[in-house]
Each structure stands twice: as structure tokens, then as C-alpha cells.
Structure 1
Amino acid sequence: MPSRRERPDVDPVSRQAPVPDEAVVVRGEDWYGRDLSGLRLARHTFLDTDWTEVRNEGGVFDACTFSGVRFNASVHTAAAFTNCTFKRCVFFDTRFEQCKAVGSLFQQCTFNVFSVTGGDWSFVGLPGADLRKAVFDGVRMREADLTAARLEAATVTGTDLSGAMLRGAKLAGADLRGSDLSSLDPLAVDIAGAKIDLEQAAVIASALGFDVS
């Protein structure tokens, strides 16, 4: 299991892009519609690159940096983005299916029609992310940082959120059925109108000090 990365409770703001090694930089290129299946890259940096409608089955990206990359309408299946940093990226109509994003950090990104199905997103950092109406179904998100994340009307079903940081998260109207909510403090999040099942209701009641029997 990877070591836990220290992260702030709010999304850091910086106008300066990381200074990469130019030998492993992809800058301003148009990768529209490319098939990246099977591609394996480590410690590469992608700056202002267009990944619109990319297809990526089984690609592996480790410790890579994505800054200003557009992932619009791209589909990633059984791919890995481990210990990566995504900064000011755009995810519009983007799908991740059975992917691995362990230890990755998302900063100042835009998510719209964003879907994650299955896979392992443990230790992922999404502090302050606007994930309204996003879908996380059957995802492993152990110890994920969702501090102050906006998840109103999102679908977070069958997801392992054990140990997740949820303080200040907005879950109003979200569908949380089947997810592990053992680390949720009902007094530290907005859960008005969220959908939960009976087992989850017992967990939340116990967290509030009720004797559930």
C-alpha cells in the first residue's frame, strides 16, 4: 500500500506550472482521437495538450503531471494513472472504467458529466473539487481526500469510502446507497436529502450517539 500523502484541506492555488524536465514534456500538442491503449509512460509532463476523444485501454501513466489538459469525451478502460498530478484539467463527458488512480491529486480541475465505474482510486486527492452530478459506482476510494468537495446530486454507490476525508463535503441530494460511510461525520457534512439504505442509516445513527439495536 502506498504511503499516505499529506494534503491541505483546500485546493492550493498557484499560477505557476511545475518546471519539468524538457526531455519528457509534451507541450501544446493535439492528440485528438488518438488511441493510447497499451502506452506506458513515467514522470512525463503534459502541458496544454488536447486529449479530446482519446481512447485508452490499459495505458499506464505513473508519476506524470497533466496541466491544462482537455480530457473531453475521452474513455479510459483498465488504465492506470498512479501518483499523478492533474492541474487545471477539463473533464467533460469523461469516463474511467475499472481504472487505477491510486495516490493521484486533482487541483483546480473542471468536472462535468464525469463518470468513474469500478477500479481503485484509494488515496486520491480531490479536495474542494466540484463533482456535482458526477458518478462513482463500485469504486475503491479508501482514504480519499474529499475535504470540502461538492457532491450535490452525485451518484456515489457501492463505493468504499473507508477512511476517506469528508469534512466540509456537500452531499445534499447525493445517492450514497451501498457505500461505506463509516468515516462520515454527519455533523461535519451537508447530507440533506441524500439517499442511504437501512444499514447506512444505522451507521450514521451510531455516529450521532444513538443506541441502534
Structure 2
Amino acid sequence: MIRVEDRGGCCTITLARPEKANALTEPMLHDIAAAVTQSTARVLILTGEGKVFSAGADLDGMKAGLGLSPAWEAASGAIAAFPGLSIAALNGTLAGGAMGAALACDIRIAVPAATFFYPVMRLGYRPQPSDPARLAALIGPSRAKMILLAGQRINAETALAWGLIDRICDAHALIDTAMSLAEHALSADPGHVAALKRMTNGDTP
């Protein structure tokens, strides 16, 4: 399940399945896509409950074909298309298919204990179609292959050095840090925020 809080120009989506390490189910992915698409906020913050951001796909769901569901691309695509500033506030480890939602955000911050891995090679699955390109755009093709093909699990310091995340902050300050990064976007005209984002993405303003 997810929790959505939409107020003051900021939409916060929290993965709220801590007893399953916030493993993503198909309904959760649909709910994320719907929440992002329907929001009129200027800032989107994506975070998790507990000590893990997300362990990736729900294992029972994978047995039922979740890995091939278009819901993955619907969720990450909605986040990527969000016209305001999107921030992944990673409260813990980011793994597997959950990588897509974080990669689609504009900024990623994480706690010191976070680790990052995408075990598609070992498990025999393919990543979601847009994930490898977004990963390579952030950290370069060789490092993307280190994660996807060589199955490397990296810590927060390495993720910061590679450019996978943009800041490391204490767990108790995670959301406050996200809000501080959102301050200028929250006080700006939504059209101005959207135009600057398009320009930064290389699109026509």
C-alpha cells in the first residue's frame, strides 16, 4: 500500500508496506501512477516507511507475472512526466524494480545505510525497459553495467561518488532535507518550475 499526502504544493508518496520491506505489488504501482498523474503539486517527494525504501518486486507477484506488467513503466513514466520537482528521499536500501521510480525522479537523497542493487542478471529477469537508459544517463554505461550485468551492490558513498544519488543525510533529517531542496520550487510559479525542468531535461521550454 501507499500513503499520499498532498498539501501546500507538495505531494508526498510513502511506500507503506514495511513488514514486506516495501516490496511493490501491481496495485501499488497503479496507485503510484494515479497519485502522481492526478496531483497538481509543484513538488513530489517519494519515500518509504521503515528502514528499507523498497526491496523491489513482490515475490508472489513475480511468480504471477508481475515482472512483465506495464504497471512498472506506468509508475516510472508518470514520475518522469511530473512537471514539477521530484525528489526520491531514500530511507534505506533501493533494490530491483523499485530502482525505476527513483531513477525517474529529478533528485535522489539517501540515508548513510542505504545500499543499491538490481539483481536481474542473477535472477534471470530483465529490467523494466526505461531503467537501463536512465541508469546509464546518471552514472555512465560502464557503471550501469557494473550494477546490471556484474550484479554489483554499492553503498551510499559509492552511489554518491557515481552520481546515482545527490546527497547523503541522516535518517532523522531525510524529509527535512527533501523539503529544503524543494523550497524554491514550492515558492515559484508552477509554469516557471515546469519550464526550468524542461530546459534542464534538454526539451524545448
TM-score by length of 1: 0.33
Structure number with bigger Rg: 1
Higher strand share: 1
